[in-house]
A and B are shown apart, each in its own frame.
Chain A
């Protein structure tokens, strides 16, 4: 009876021993303590995040234009003139909802990376939906951002079924402490959410190399659709990735945040968005608990270092 139970359930003390951070604990002891509510708009509104990022010298996809009101929706043609590719996304979106990528366009025909052809009417409708809050948190009125398309580096090409994976770095009090990348699968419907069946690959915070790969809570070695060897992942420009995360702390003032970073073939790592309430799945992908790690940062990691110094501390410091 109890053996059967322990096959599927851990006891609270076992989880505590393993250093797992639970949702209640995250909300009460970490987010409530280190993330001031008034700072949330800085990351919830991607237009603000972008502006701030530029001030702090963090690479992000360039903003081509903004559409705030329904009557401006028709301006989209004017805005994207001179840009062959672009991305339309909601300023308050989350989890990739409402992101529309246009690889090229000609007159009133817009072509997506998968080759689908959209009419001007459909683009207009998409922007209109975005403005009315279809993709925003809580359904409030939103702004549509039109930004430069990332020219994704090809190193991840085989690792994901549709889409391009990003790297999620968890930053606690300015220190990048845990990282993972999420790979879409056929089972996850091309989405990068672990609970939907995407593959989570924990990345060694010192090297950017694979630590562990899991899918639906079970360890795996190869991508179920592409067959790529997951143990071979090594994210290039790792230091730059960590630096973006570390700088995001100064930039937002959030003590606990998740930075989503993509790799551009020419411009290197670029910050896509920040999250003030990053999920806990990163623990499963890494096979490591966050609780002990956070404690160690509180106790032993030096305070008042610059972002670069913190990154050095992470890369060189003894674990």
Chain B
């Protein structure tokens, strides 16, 4: 019994517990990354962009004075595209939605009428969402005359010569050049795509395959005043498949959006004549991150999103974004101190300098910082002759640092150099303490040790800077902030590291024979 207890006790050492917690945090962070990527559309780069398509439908008709009803087919959200916004420009009309169509009604009108409907879609290649595909009822068999039926049977036979599944075979046969004689007998030589589609649909129905017409728009930048393309959808193998009416190709073409499925036409109008609908497409680009809220809403994860940091006002979000990089910087410092073994001035001083460098830029920041420290040390050297008490002395150094920063900023502005303006980003108190410490080390341990400590601190600051200056890393730490929990446990595990520090390999070298 006690042996088992002993084993359990040994197993649950601090290190083992921390290891397990680290593992759990990695799993949790992994899940959250997957979740945010899938449902909120977060990506791993701050530069990720999403296309936003503006589709405009322009309905024109001649009004005849009787009450008007316009019923317009409109796109629905699909796997690939999500609706971001809709907007109707139709003054004096009452608008409503019915069966996924836009319905506009109005009193009787006169003359040429123009109505606009605008919809904003965004690429949703990673979003959630499925088109419902209930099993359609078996199609009604078309009623053919005796002769027609014979021709239809022959056409179906002939189609077998073509490649692909049945709809493809039929489409290819209809497009064959020169056409089969039987086909010429079946329908006139001048065939509109709609006629082809309807005829194929009938033939499919004869064979018991459900099918329907589909209108869609190819999303191309700055395309104006065009009519939608017609395609055929057939229910084959348990799902709807989309067919191109000329090539017979299966599947949704790239950048293509279906706006109407089934028999009803794109536009139904009463109370006017000569109606037509023309479409225009406009492309714009936005940061994927800005769309996260919309995506969350579309994938029914809105509550979770509202309770996240990404729903905060921008100013607070930026403050949090800045904070989210600290744990990584702290990890770097902990590593430098406990694994590499560099002794730096103050524990987190190099980290704070690195954070300032991110804001100032590397070279201007370094030059500026060196100037502040050098000037500060000169002033501090004068102070040390005065034998001031500690608190007033460091206070005086702080004030001097503020004055130096003030003059450097003025200098930077007048001479338009980054080096001067960078000054305001350095933490004043920390800078003053660096000067104080450097000066004391200088007096007590000599210039060599003082300079060494400064150089080591700068190395630590630069190493930290090298990691946190990367935009992508900063973005990832913000977008996938669960990683900070992983860092917490890594840091805690580092607290149980009892191995030699890198610098000790050199320090204790004489002990190895």
Q: Please list the residues of chain A having a beta carbon within 8 angstroms of any beta carbon in chain B.
A: 8-12, 14-18, 20, 22-25, 28-29, 97, 125, 128-129, 132-134, 139, 189, 191, 193, 195-196, 214, 217-219, 283-284, 287-289
Q: Add 20 more A-B contacts to A129-B389, A133-B390, A283-B508 (CB < 8 A).
A: A9-B506, A11-B505, A12-B499, A15-B508, A15-B511, A15-B512, A17-B512, A18-B513, A22-B498, A22-B501, A23-B501, A23-B504, A24-B498, A24-B501, A132-B391, A189-B445, A217-B507, A218-B510, A283-B511, A289-B508
Neighbour of A132 across the interface among B341, B390, B444, B512, CB < 8 A = B390
A-B contact count (CB 8 A): 93
Partner of B390, one of A23, A25, A129, A214: A129
A18→B499 contact, CB < 8 A: no
A22 and B444 in contact, given A11-B505, A132-B389, A132-B390 (Cβ under 8 angstroms): no
B498's contact among A29, A129, A189, A219, by CB below 8 Å, is which?
A29
User: What is the chain B residue whose CB lies nearest that of A7?
Assistant: B509
> Do A134 and B498 form a contact, CB below 8 Å, given A8-B506, A283-B511, A284-B511?
no
| 8 closest residue pairs by CB, A with B | A22-B500, A25-B498, A132-B389, A9-B505, A10-B512, A14-B512, A10-B509, A20-B508
Q: How far is the CA of A152 from the CA of B366 in the complex (A)?
A: 51
- Tell whether, in the assembled complex, residue B512 and residue A18 are in contact, meaning their CB atoms are under 8 Å apart: yes
B387 touches A129 (CB 8 A): yes
Specify which chain B residues have a CB less than 8 angstroms from the CB of A9 in the assembled complex: 505-506, 509
| CB of B307 closer than 8 Å to a CB of A | no
Alpha-carbon distance between A191 and B511 when the two chains are bound, in angstroms: 24
The answer on a CB contact under 8 Å between B511 and A20 is yes
Report A35 CB to chain B, min CB distance, Å.
16
Of the candidates A12, A28, A133, A289, which one forms a contact with B505 in the assembled complex, judged by CB atoms under 8 Å apart?
Answer: A12
Q: Name the CB-closest residue of B to A23.
A: B501
> Which chain B residue has the least Cβ–Cβ distance from A125?
B387
Chain B: residues with CB nearer than 8 A to chain A?
Answer: 338, 341, 387, 389-391, 444-446, 449, 495-501, 504-513
A131 → B minimal CB distance (Å): 9
B338 touches A18 (CB 8 A): no
Q: List 30 A-B pairs, Cβ < 8 Å.
A: A8-B509, A9-B505, A9-B506, A10-B506, A10-B509, A12-B500, A14-B512, A15-B504, A16-B500, A18-B511, A18-B513, A20-B508, A22-B498, A22-B500, A22-B501, A24-B498, A25-B498, A28-B497, A97-B444, A125-B387, A129-B390, A133-B390, A134-B390, A139-B390, A195-B449, A196-B449, A217-B510, A283-B508, A287-B510, A289-B508
Chain A residues positioned under 8 Å from B495 (CB to CB): 28
Give the distance in Å from the alpha carbon of A187 to the alpha carbon of B512 in the complex.
26
- A185–B366 alpha-carbon span in the complex (Å): 37
The reply to whether B511 and A289 contact each other, CB–CB distance below 8 Å, is yes
A291 CB, min distance to chain B CBs, angstroms: 10
> Of B341, B391, B446, B511, which is within 8 A of A287 by CB?
B511
Given the contacts A132-B389, A139-B390, A196-B449, A10 and B508 also touching, CB distance less than 8 Å: yes
Interface centre among A20, A189, A284 (most CB of B within 10 A): A20
Most A CB contacts (10 A, CB to CB) among B449, B495, B507 go to B507
* Chain A residue with the shortest CB-CB distance to B452: A195
How far is it, in angstroms, between the C-alpha of A8 and the C-alpha of B507 when the chains are bound?
Answer: 9
Residues of chain B contacted by A195 (CB below 8 angstroms): 449
Query: Closest CB-CB distance, A46 to chain B, in whole Å?
Result: 19
What is the chain A residue whose CB lies nearest that of B341?
A23
Give the distance in Å from the alpha carbon of A85 to the alpha carbon of B505 in the complex. 46
For A10, list chain B residues within 8 Å (CB).
505-506, 508-509, 511-512
Q: A45 CA to B497 CA in the complex, in Å?
A: 30
Our pick among B391, B499, B511 for the contact of A24 (Cβ within 8 Å) is: B499
Chain A residues with CB below 8 A from B387, complex form: 125, 129
**Complex CA–CA separation, A287 to B445 (angstroms):** 25
- Smallest CB separation, A9 vs chain B (Å): 4
Minimum CB–CB distance for B146 against chain A, Å: 94
Residues in A whose Cβ lies below 8 Å from that of B512: 10, 14-15, 17-18
In the complex, A25→B387 CA distance in Å? 40
In the complex, what residues of A have CB within 8 A of residue B390's CB? 129, 132-134, 139
B510 interface neighbour in A125, A133, A284, Cβ under 8 Å:
A284
Looking at the assembled complex, report how far the CB atom of B511 sits from the nearest CB atom of chain A, in whole angstroms. 5
CA gap between A11 and B507 in the complex, in Å: 12
CA distance A25 to B496 in the complex (A): 9
A24, A133, A289: the one contacting B338 at CB < 8 Å is: A24
Closest chain B residue to A136, Cβ basis? B390
Contacts of A191 in B (CB 8 A): 445
Q: In the complex, what residues of B have CB within 8 A of residue A217's CB?
A: 507, 509-510
CB distance from B391 to the nearest CB of A (A): 7
A28 touches B511 (CB 8 A): no
Whole-angstrom distance between the Cβ of A90 and the nearest chain B Cβ? 12
Q: How far is the CA of A8 from the CA of B508 in the complex (A)?
A: 10
Residue among A17, A22, A134 making CB contact with B504, cutoff 8 Å: A22
Q: Which residues of A contact B501 (CB under 8 A)?
A: 22-24
A20–B496 contact, CB under 8 A? Answer: no
**How close is B494's CB to chain A, nearest CB, in angstroms?**
9
Kindly state the separation between the CA atoms of A125 and B338 in the bound complex, as whole angstroms: 39
Nearest CB in chain B: distance from A95 CB, A: 9
Contact A28 B498, beta carbon cutoff 8 Å: yes
**Could you say which residues of chain B place their CB within 8 Å of the CB of A25?**
498-500
| Of listed B338, B504, B508, residue having the most chain A CB within 10 A | B508
CA distance A288 to B505 in the complex (A): 15
Closest-CB distance, A75 to chain B (whole angstroms): 19
CA distance A217 to B505 in the complex (A): 13
Contact A22 B499 (CB under 8 A): yes
Residues in chain A near residue B511, CB distance under 8 A: 10, 15, 18, 20, 283-284, 287-289
A5 to chain B: closest residue by CB: B505
Judge whether A214 and B510 touch: CB under 8 Å.
yes
Least Cβ–Cβ distance between B505 and chain A, in angstroms: 4
Residues on B with beta carbons closer than 8 Å to the beta carbon of A12:
499-500, 505
Q: Give Cα A17 to B446, complex, Å.
A: 35
Q: Which residues of B contact A97 (CB under 8 A)?
A: 444
Q: Which residues of A contact B445 (CB under 8 A)?
A: 189, 191, 193, 196
Beta-carbon nearest neighbor of A287 in chain B = B511
Shortest CB-to-CB span from A2 to chain B, Å, is 13
Complex: A18 Cα to B505 Cα, angstroms? 12
B290 to chain A, nearest CB (A): 46
Q: Is the CB of A15 within 8 A of B505?
A: yes
User: In the complex, what residues of A have CB within 8 A of residue B507's CB?
Assistant: 217, 284
CA of A132 to CA of B387, assembled, Å: 12
A195 to B495, CA, bound (A): 26
Minimal beta-carbon separation of A216 from chain B (angstroms): 10
- Docked complex Cα distance between A28 and B76 (Å): 63
Q: Which residues of B contact A283 (CB under 8 A)?
A: 508, 511
CB distance from A126 to the nearest CB of B (A): 9
Q: What is the CA–CA distance of A287 and B501 in the complex, to the nearest angstrom?
A: 19
Q: Closest chain B residue to A22 by CB distance?
A: B500
Nearest CB of B to A244, in Å? 27
User: Within the assembled complex, what's the spacing in Å between the Cα atoms of A288 and B512?
Assistant: 9
The residue in chain A whose Cβ has the minimal distance to the Cβ of B436 is A139
Q: B444: nearest residue on chain A (CB-CB)?
A: A97
Q: Which residue of chain A has the shortest Cβ distance to B513 in the bound complex?
A: A18
Residues of B with C-beta under 8 A to A128: 389
Q: Complex formed: what's the CA distance from A91 to B498 in Å?
A: 32
Cα distance A139–B391 in the bound complex, in angstroms: 9
What chain A residues lie within 8 Å of B508 (beta carbons)? 10, 15, 18, 20, 22, 283-284, 289
What B residues does A23 contact at CB under 8 A?
A: 341, 501, 504
